[in-house]
Amino acid sequence: MPYENDEKNSGSVPAEPRDLHTLTHGELQELLSSLGQPKFRAKQIEEWVWVKNARSFDEMSNLPKTLREDLSRHLTLGGVTEVARQVSSDGSRKYLLRYQDGVSVECVGMPTKNRLTVCASTQAGCAMGCAFCATGAAGLTRSLTSAEIYEQVMHVRDDFNARVTSVVLMGQGEPFMNYDATLGALRRLNSPDGAGIGARHLTVSTCGVIPQIMRFANEPEQFTLAISLHSAVQKTRNALMPGVRKYSLVNLYNVMGEYVNKTGRRPTYEYALIGGINDTEPELQALCDFCEGTLAHVNLIQLNEVDGSRFHPSTEARAEDFVRRLTSVGVEATIRNSRGADIDAACGQLKQRAGH
C-alpha cells in the first residue's frame, strides 16, 4: 500500500519548488500526471527517496532523463548536511546535522556486532527543562517534521553502510510534544516502503506527557515505550522534571496501568541515578512501590555529568543495590551502560559543547 505522508499540503504543481519529502503519494501522482507521466512513476520515485535515500534526482537511474530534469525544476530534494561528527572509542558516531533552514540537531549511531542502533532527535532543543539534561538547559528551537526525523536515521545508515536494526527516539527533544511528526517518522521507519524496521525495535522515550501516552497506547503498531521516571517521589520529580509537574505520579501510574492493559507490552522506566537526590533509601522504596505488581522494566543508568551541573552520578554499588531490591520485589531491572560518553553523545549530553 502506498505510504501516505502525514503532513497535509494543498496544490499539485507548486509555484515555489517544494521538498519532495513533504509531498503525499497523491500529490506526487498529481504532479506526475500534470507532467504527462504514468502513475507508477510515483512508486519508483518514492523508493528513491525513502528506501534508497537519494540525494539528487540524477541518481534516479530508472527514470527517463527528461523526467529527472522536470522533477528538479518543480521540486527540491531537501536533505540534511553533516556539519560535524565525533567518533567514540566504543565505535559510536555522533553527527551534527543541519536542515535547510539552518537549524541543526544531533543524532548518534551505535554499532555492536550484528546490530546498528540509531538514537535520533525529535526536536531541536527541548522545552521541558529537566534539571539534569543538557538539551533541556538550552530550551526549544523548533520541532522537527517527520521527514527530518527519518532523515537522521537514513544518514546514519548510509554512513555505516549497514542496516539499522533499531531506533530510539532519545536524542534531543520530547517526542510527545511533537506527536504527529513522531508517529509519521515511526510509521515510515516501520514501513516496507521505508526503512522496514520492526515496530518493536522502534522506541519512543517520553518524560511522561500523559494525554499522549494514552493516544500512543491506541496506535495499532507495537512500538516500544520508555518513560523517563527518575523519581517516584512527587517532590523530587517536580524538582528534577518541572515540565511534567502537572502530570502527577498517581496519574502516571494509572495511565501506565491502562497502557499495559490495552497493549500487553512491557514499558521501560528510565532512571538516571543521581547521588544524594534520587538514590536514597526512601527513593528506592518509592520506586519499588511504583513498579511492584506492574509489568515494568527499570533501566538504571548512572547520570551522565553535564558541565556546570550540581548533579553527580551515584556509586556503582548503589546502582547494584537498586537492581537487587527491585528484583527482590519481582521487578525486572538492569543497569545500562551509556555509550559515547567520551564524545558527549550519551543520554542528556547532546548539545553540551559550544558549537555542537
Look-up of cell digits 520506586: 287
User: Using the rule CB under 6 A, is 252 a contact of ligand SAH?
Assistant: no
Dist. CA 124–CA 138, nearest whole Å: 10
Look-up of cell digits 541515578: 273
Using the contact rule CB under 6 A, the part of the chain among 55-63, 128-136, 159-167, 259-267 near ligand SF4 is 128-136
User: Using the rule CB under 6 A, is 300 a contact of ligand SAH?
Assistant: no
User: Using the rule CB under 6 A, is 270 a contact of ligand SAH?
Assistant: yes
Please list every residue from 172 through 201 that binds ligand SAH, using CB under 6 A: 174
119 is a catalytic site residue: no
Considering only 49, 133, 156, 183, the residue that binds ligand SF4 (CB under 6 A) is 133
Sheet holding 297-302, edge to edge: 81-87, 93-98, 104-112, 115-119, 166-169, 202-206, 224-228, 268-273, 297-302, 332-336
Residue 63 touches which of ligand SAH, ligand SF4, none (Cβ within 5-8 Å per kind) = none
Please list every residue from 206 through 225 that binds ligand SAH, using CB under 6 A: 206-207
**Which residues have C-beta within 8 Å of that of residue 117, sequence separation ≥ 6?**
109, 110, 111, 164, 165, 166, 167, 168
- Which is the catalytic residue, given 119, 126, 130, 347? 347
User: Using the rule CB under 6 A, is 301 a contact of ligand SAH?
Assistant: yes
Dist. CA 107–CA 345, nearest whole Å: 8
Can you name the residues that pair with 273 across neighbouring β-strands?
Answer: 302
Please list every residue from 154 through 213 that binds ligand SF4, using CB under 6 A: 173-174, 207
Using the contact rule CB under 6 A, the part of the chain among 132-140, 188-196, 310-318, 326-334 near ligand SF4 is 132-140
The 8-class DSSP code of residue 267 comes to P
User: Using the rule CB under 6 A, is 128 a contact of ligand SF4?
Assistant: yes
Dist. CA 122–CA 150, nearest whole Å: 10
Contact 349/341 with Cβ under 8 angstroms?
Answer: yes
Of all residues in this chain, which one has the CB nearest to ligand SAH in the complex? 348
- Which is the catalytic residue, given 106, 148, 283, 305? 106
| Residues at the interface with ligand SF4 (CB under 6 A) | 126, 128-130, 133, 135-136, 173-174, 207, 228
Which residues participate in catalysis according to the annotation?
Answer: 106, 347
